[in-house]
Structure formats: structure tokens, C-alpha cells
Structure 1
Amino acid sequence: MAKTMQPQELIDSAVVDPTGTKLGKVGNVYLADSTRQPEWITVKTGLFGTKESFVPLSGAHADSDGVHVRVDKDAVSEAPRIEADGHLSSEESARLYKHYGLPMPRTSPDGRMDDRAQGRGTGRSEMDSAAGGKAGGRDRDRDAEHSMTRSEERLNVGTEQVETGHVRLRKYVVTEEQQITVPVSHEEVRVEREPITKGSGGKAEIAEDETEVVLHAEKPVVNKETVAVERAKLKTENVTEDQTISGQVRKEQFEVTDDSKHRKS
């Protein structure tokens, strides 16, 4: 559901073009001098939102998901680069209107826009001064003339999941030489002699004779078998580490110049 656009509520809102593409977030809101109504917004784009482009609010409406504008992303990215310093000159306004193909508003013939609302809660003095019938309106007007809002940029850093590489586990076959010592035995022949006493041997005669003994020996026999010895698997685990992210941010500083101290009384 569309809602009325209030300057203080537009800050940091999402900006969406007619195709539904998100252009960025609202950085500053510029009010028309004559109507004190929002006329332009700046959209934070680029890395860390360091760039700001002017986008017209003509025909735009605020919804629950952000500010819907009538210009597309290409027109915003090609818009003239103008410093978002809180004031638009008539020449700068004319350049922007010409770029977006919009007519100069009748309520602001010179094209000047002034006073930006920065941060939530600011811009209240601009809205109250427009309602001149309220009590205390003039006092608030005077306060607004002598007040200034200081703003600064801040880094918003998040994380996203990205693919960093692939890890593969495979097995392959290698051949290696192994040496195993195995004890083996064999038979040997030893000749034992013993004397024969008289009367213990038989009848003796001289003749040729022979006898034979079969010798045995062990020899190594090699057999191979395949056995499972180890299992490996891939498993991921989360490791948290600190990384330092740097980026340039801008901020405003106050400087007060008082020349009354140099005057002679």
C-alpha cells in the first residue's frame, strides 16, 4: 500500500525502479524551496554505497518495500555527477531535469532545491515551518535558519557464501619391493663311525657295497592376498577467521568562524 512520503522516513529506504530492480538506498532528501516537499533524493550506489546519484521524486511513491521511482537503473547510473552538499543551484537542477527529460516544476521556476534531511528524526523543523498556522512556527523557523546537521558515512559489512575451490580424493596403485626373512631348514649327511669289537660283528668278508639316503630341504613359498587396511573420506568443517575490510567513508565536520573577537569595542 502506497504511503505519504515524509523526508525523515525516506532516509535509508530502498529505491526501486519501474522494472523492480533495486537501485540502492536513500542517502539524502532534498526539499523544494517553495513547497517544502521532497523533490529529489540521492541514491547510494557502488561498493559500500560510496557514490550518490540524484533521482527525481516526480511520480514516485513510497511503499512497504521502499521508494518506487519512475526512472530506470541506466538513467540513474548515467545521471550528471553532482556533489550532494545540501544545495542544488539552478544550473545543477536544470542539468538534472534535462537528463531525466522532465519539465521544470511550476512551483520552482528557477529550479533551486535547498535543505536536505539527513538521518531519521531530522527534517522536523522543515515540515513544521511549512505549517505556518501552528503555534511556535516562527520560533522554529528562526531555529532552522541557524541550525545545521552533520552527517557521516558508515561501513556496513556482511558476508556471503562463495565457491573457493574443489578437493578430490582418489586412490592409485604403486609397486614397491618388500623383503621378508623366513627361516628354512634342510637335511645334511654326517658320517658316523664306531669300532667293532671282537665277536660283536658278523662274519667279515671283503666286497664292494653302497647305501643311499634321501635328503630333504624347505624352500620359501610366496602367496599374495589383498586385505583392507585403511578408509579415508572427505569431510568439510567451518573454520572462522578474522579479516580486516577497509573502505573510504566521508563525514562532515563543523567549523565555526567568529569575526566578532577582532572588532574594537
Structure 2
Amino acid sequence: MFQAGDIREWRAHDVVDPQGRRIGSLEAIYVDTATDEPCFATVLTGLPTRRRLTFVPLAGATVGPGYLRVAHEKDLVKRAPAIDTDGELPAKDEPEIFAHYDIAYSPGSDGERRLARR
């Protein structure tokens, strides 16, 4: 898996799907608060007047020259939960992101949030 410090160097690089179709550009990395391992990325998508940050899992992702290839199809990612470009992810919205990709969700042992931006 990627180290959070390493993958931050890829900010603004293209994010592509398994077929190499461009989804958007890498904006931020979210780590799992239980393991401190990179878990999700936000991808800057949309038209210049309607940009948003869309969440995509990093499991199965690979890096190439100038791009990050994620394991999910462009159409699935484009329909994923998103936040405004200047927004924050509310803790109550975390389960929806996991559910969109059929990933099991459980909050921390004391009910704390599962994702933290790095």
C-alpha cells in the first residue's frame, strides 16, 4: 500500500480508471484513523464552473508515470459521494461513501470518525 507521504507527491496528477480513462485530478488523501493507512482519495471532477471533490478508494490503486490508476470504473466514481471543493467531509456522511463502493463501514471503538484528511 502507498505511504501517505509518498502519495501526497501525486497531488494534481491525473486519476484514471482501469481502462486508462481520465476521471479527474488527485486532490487529497484520506487515511483510515484506525491504521493511519491511505484509504480514500478525493478527485477533482466536473466542469470548471461546477467542480467537486469525489471520493474513491485507494485499495488496488497503482501509480504510473504522471497518473494514479484506481480499481474502479469512471462511471462508478463519477456517481460517488462528493463534497464542495472548499468543503469538509461530515462524519455522518462517511458510511455513504463506504456503501457506494460496497465496503464495510464501522466507526472507531469510541464512535470516532473513520476517515481523516492528510
* Fold shared, TM-score > 0.5 on shorter chain: yes
Aligned match of 1:64: 65
Aligned match of 2:75: 74
The structure whose residues are more often strand, as a share, is: 2
CA deviation profile, 1:235-265 (whole Å, cap 9, x unmatched): xxxxxxxxxxxxxxxxxxxxxxxxxxxxxxx
Instruction: Report matched runs for 1:129-144 at 5 Å.
Output: none
Q: Distance in 2 between matches of 1:34 and 1:88?
A: 18
Instruction: Report matched runs for 1:157-236 at 5 Å.
Output: none
Shift of 1:65: 3.4
Report if the CA contact (8 A) 1:88-1:113 is conserved. no
Q: Distance in 2 between matches of 1:53 and 1:62?
A: 19
User: Is the counterpart of residue 53 in structure 1 residue 36 in structure 2?
Assistant: no
* TM superposition score normalised by structure 2: 0.76
The amino acid that maps onto 1:22 is R
Cα gap change, 1:19/1:12 in structure 2, threshold over 3 Å: closer, same or farther? same
Report if the CA contact (8 A) 2:8-2:28 is conserved. no
Instruction: Report matched runs for 1:97-112 at 5 Å.
Output: 97-104=98-105, 109-110=106-107, 112=114
Q: Distance in 2 between matches of 1:60 and 1:42?
A: 13
* TM superposition score normalised by structure 1: 0.37
Number of aligned positions between the proteins: 109
Structure exhibiting the larger radius of gyration computed from Cα positions: 1
**SS at structure 2 position matched to 1:75:** helix
Shift of 1:42: 0.9
The amino acid that maps onto 2:36 is R
Report if the CA contact (8 A) 2:44-2:54 is conserved. yes
Instruction: Report matched runs for 1:24-63 at 5 Å.
Output: 24-48=24-48, 50-63=51-64
Shift of 1:79: 1.1
The amino acid that maps onto 2:114 is R
Shift of 1:83: 4.5
Cα gap change, 1:72/1:101 in structure 2, threshold over 3 Å: closer, same or farther? same
Q: Distance in 1 between matches of 2:89 and 2:102?
A: 21
Q: Distance in 2 between matches of 1:39 and 1:17?
A: 17
Q: Distance in 2 between matches of 1:88 and 1:38?
A: 18
The amino acid that maps onto 1:28 is A
CA deviation profile, 1:50-85 (whole Å, cap 9, x unmatched): 221111112212222311111111111111233564
Q: Distance in 2 between matches of 1:55 and 1:98?
A: 12
Shift of 1:93: 1.9
Shift of 1:112: 1.5
Shift of 1:43: 0.7
Q: RCO higher in 1 or 2 (8 Å CA, sep ≥ 6)?
A: 2
Q: Distance in 1 between matches of 2:2 and 2:114?
A: 23
Aligned match of 1:245: none
Shift of 1:14: 1.1
